[in-house]
Amino acid sequence: MESLLRLEKICKTFPGVVANDHVDLEILPGEIHALLGENGAGKTTLMNCVYGVYRPDSGTIYWKGRPVEIHQARDAIALGIGMVHQHFMLVPPLTVAENIILGLPSPREPLLDLKSASRQIRELAQSYGLPIEPDVPVWQLPVGVQQRVEILKALYRQAELLILDEPTAVLTPGEVEELFKVLRAFKEKGLSIIFISHKLEEVMTISDRITVMRAGKVVDTLPASRTNPRELARMMVGREVFLHIEKPPCTPGEVVLELENVRAQSDRDLPALKGISLQVRAGEIVGIAGVDGNGQTELAEVIAGLRRVTEGRIRVLGKDITNCMPKDIIDLGVAFVPPDRQHMGLLLDFTVSENLIGKSFDRPPFSRYGFLQRRFIENFCDGAIRSCDIRTPHAQVPVKLLSGGNQQKVVLARELSLQPKLLVASQPTRGLDVGATEYIRRQMVEARSAGTAILLISTELDEVLSLSDRIAVIYEGEIMGIMSAAEADLQEIGLLMAGSRAHVATGTPQTA
Partner 1 sequence: MFSQLLEIFTSVAFYAAVIRLTAPLLLSAMGGLVAERSGIITFGMEGMMLMGAIGAAVGSYYTQSVLGGLVFAMLAGMFLAFLYGIMCVTVGANQVVSAVALNLGALGLSSTIFALVFSNKALGVVTEVVSVPSMRPVKIPLLGDIPILGDILFNQLPLVYIAFLAVPAVWFVLYRTTIGLKIRSVGEHPHAADTVGISVVRVRYLSVLFTGLMAGLAGALLSIGMLNTFQENMSAGRGFIAYTAIVFGKWEPFGILLGTLLFGLADAIQLRIQALNLPIPYQFWVAFPYIVTLLALVLFVGKATWPAASGQPFKRESK
Q: Contact region for partner 1 (CB under 8 A) — 73-81, 258-266, 287-295, 346-354? A: 73-81
Closest contact distance (angstroms) between CB of 118 and partner 1 is 14
**Site membership for partner 1, residue 325 (CB under 8 A):** no
- Binders of partner 1 among residues 109 to 168 (CB under 8 A) are 109-112, 153
β-strands 470-475, 478-484 pairing: antiparallel
Closest contact distance (angstroms) between CB of 31 and partner 1 is 24
By beta-carbon proximity to partner 1, the closer residue of 17 and 325 is 17
Give kind and range of the element (H or E) at residue 375.
helix 374-387
Total residues belonging to the chain: 512
**Site membership for partner 1, residue 169 (CB under 8 A):** no
In terms of Cβ atoms closer than 10 Å to its own Cβ (0-12, 13-18, 19+), residue 327 is exposed
Q: How far apart are CA 28 and CA 87, in angstroms?
A: 26
* Residues contacting residue 29 through CB under 8 Å, at least 6 positions apart: 1, 2, 3, 4, 160, 190, 192
Quick one: which of 462, 461, 444, 440 has its CA closest to 453? 444
**Site membership for partner 1, residue 43 (CB under 8 A):** no
Q: Which of 18, 28, 89, 237 binds partner 1 (CB under 8 A)?
A: 89
Quick one: which of 152, 209, 182 has its CA closest to 36? 209
Measured over the CA atoms of residue 339, residue 289, residue 474 and residue 512, the dihedral's sign is negative
370 DSSP 8-state letter: T
Closest contact distance (angstroms) between CB of 165 and partner 1 is 12
**Site membership for partner 1, residue 103 (CB under 8 A):** yes
Q: Contact region for partner 1 (CB under 8 A) — 96-104, 211-219, 339-347, 488-496? A: 96-104
Measured over the CA atoms of residue 125, residue 126, residue 127 and residue 128, the dihedral's sign is positive
**Site membership for partner 1, residue 92 (CB under 8 A):** yes
Q: How far apart are CA 11 and CA 194, in angstroms?
A: 19
**Site membership for partner 1, residue 51 (CB under 8 A):** yes
Q: Contact region for partner 1 (CB under 8 A) — 81-89, 305-313, 436-444, 467-475? A: 81-89
β-strands 453-457, 285-289 pairing: parallel
By beta-carbon proximity to partner 1, the closer residue of 79 and 213 is 79
Measured over the CA atoms of residue 290, residue 248, residue 256 and residue 482, the dihedral's sign is positive
**Site membership for partner 1, residue 17 (CB under 8 A):** no
Closest contact distance (angstroms) between CB of 77 and partner 1 is 6
Q: How far apart are CA 346 and CA 258, in angstroms?
A: 27
**Site membership for partner 1, residue 393 (CB under 8 A):** no
**Site membership for partner 1, residue 400 (CB under 8 A):** no
**Site membership for partner 1, residue 94 (CB under 8 A):** yes
Closest contact distance (angstroms) between CB of 72 and partner 1 is 7
Answer for the pair 279, 257: CB distance below 8 angstroms, yes or no.
yes
Residues that bind partner 1 (rule: CB under 8 A) add up to a total of 29
By beta-carbon proximity to partner 1, the closer residue of 14 and 361 is 14
By beta-carbon proximity to partner 1, the closer residue of 92 and 129 is 92
Closest contact distance (angstroms) between CB of 51 and partner 1 is 7
Binding residues for partner 1, rule: CB under 8 A, are 51, 53-54, 72-74, 77, 83, 85, 88-94, 98-99, 101-106, 109-112, 153
